[in-house]
Amino acid sequence: MKYFSTNRKSPCVGFKEAVLQGQPSDGGLYFPEIIPKLDENFWRDFTAKSKEEIAFQIIKPYVGEDIDEWNLARICAESVSFEFPLVRLSDKIWALELFHGPTLAFKDVGARFMSRCLQHFAEEIGKRIVVIVATSGDTGGAVANGFYGLDGIEVFVLYPKGKVSQVQEMQIAGLGGNINAVKVCGDFDECQRLVKTALGDEELRRDFYLTSANSINIARLLPQQFYYFFAYQQWEDSTLPTICVPSGNFGNLCAGLFAHFSGLPCKKFIAACNANDVIPIFLQTGQMIDKPAVKTLSNAMDIARPSNFARILELFNHDLDLLREKLEAVSISDEETVETMKKVFREFNYVLDPHGAVGFRALEQYIFKNPGAKGFFLETAHPIKFDSVRHILGDYDDNADFMTKFSFRNKQAFEIEPDYWLLKKLIRAKI
């Protein structure tokens, strides 16, 4: 498998090089030359297949010969070594729970897969690997957990000051060791700009293998296909599911569309956005506007310029009409988010985090307009990770053991202004 840049000004590379580089030198995103089609052998006895087998068969064509089958099978098994239950809430709506991994967020899958790929590659190369990542919430904790303690890999996690929850910050800044937490005095888009600038810095690239662990990196994005297939394995209704994805940087939705192009059956995808509505406006008008990020309850989705939307446009050959046939995008306000959290708790005794609430509301609205539709939304993180949930719902059963584990950690974070020179100086000082 070869990967080209969405900007088409960098040479094609294999999987290993795409993972190590993170981002092409022309500032685009790596994209596979072909989307593999799953054959009839994949679907034979599908419901009886193990998660590990499904994951291996999905990812193998993307990896090619860059990782041997034994190690790839091991990496897949370690990446999906927890549950992904599809929970029925009503006769038309299910929740796909993606928070049963070590940091209670969907990003555990991609972070664990990528970290193990890089660890495998680190044994073959002579330069130190430096991972740099921007996070608006859960990515940071998942990356920190996935890479913590790995020899030969230094990690820098950038997050916006005051715009992640206490639990999220503790997951990022409470480890130390090879995990460097960088608190940026700005928003997520400024963190992401710093990461992209670093990835394009030829001086740093000469000295290190510099890569990203955001969904910019193809090894973070591709394994997120796995749990869409795990959900379909549990789908027992005869109606094709509509899949609703809380969307910020659009990596999760992009992975779902990759899965669909490979053969995953579904009726429609819905991008459930918060007040950061650039993509809903684009799908309505065809105009991509430039506006600053807005702070919301669903903070991990507070992104004004979602980088992975370039890959989604590539999937549909930049044909807006084709894209609209498969994808809808809606904006859900904080008021609607709070109302939905209370309603779902009252009617189903189910606790949504703010991101899942955005997904539930968007799917509910779609089903109201399309009465025959049924589907599931992605519940992307455990509600305990968000300080707002208890304020909105009051007391509810939570994971006290999880909170206790983090309460004894001391936060260690470097605070900087959103100035690339300061970040580069920090990277040089730490390595």
Active site residues: 107
Q: d(Cα 290, Cα 83) in Å, to the nearest integer?
A: 39
Which of 264, 199, 348 shows the shortest CA–CA distance to 46?
A: 264
Chain CA centroid to CA 111, Å: 9
Q: d(Cα 207, Cα 186) in Å, to the nearest integer?
A: 28
Under 8 Å between Cβ of 224 and 252: yes
Q: d(Cα 248, Cα 388) in Å, to the nearest integer?
A: 19
Residues 6+ apart with CB under 8 A from 395: none
At residue 292, what is the residue type?
P
Under 8 Å between Cβ of 109 and 55: no
Q: Long-range contacts made by residues 73-79, C-beta under 8 angstroms, separation at least 24?
A: 74/116, 75/113, 75/116, 75/117, 75/120, 76/52, 76/113, 76/223, 77/52, 78/112, 78/116, 79/55, 79/109, 79/112, 79/113, 79/116, 79/223, 79/226
| Tokens found for residue 426 | 């920090």
Q: d(Cα 325, Cα 135) in Å, to the nearest integer?
A: 31
Distances (CA, A) of 396 to 42, 339, 400, 402: 41, 17, 11, 15
Which of 120, 17, 1 shows the shortest CA–CA distance to 63?
A: 1
Under 8 Å between Cβ of 353 and 79: no
Under 8 Å between Cβ of 246 and 96: no
Q: Is 387 exposed, middle or buried (0-12, 13-18, 19+ CB in 10 A)?
A: exposed
Answer positive or negative: Cα dihedral of 61, 63, 69, 71. negative
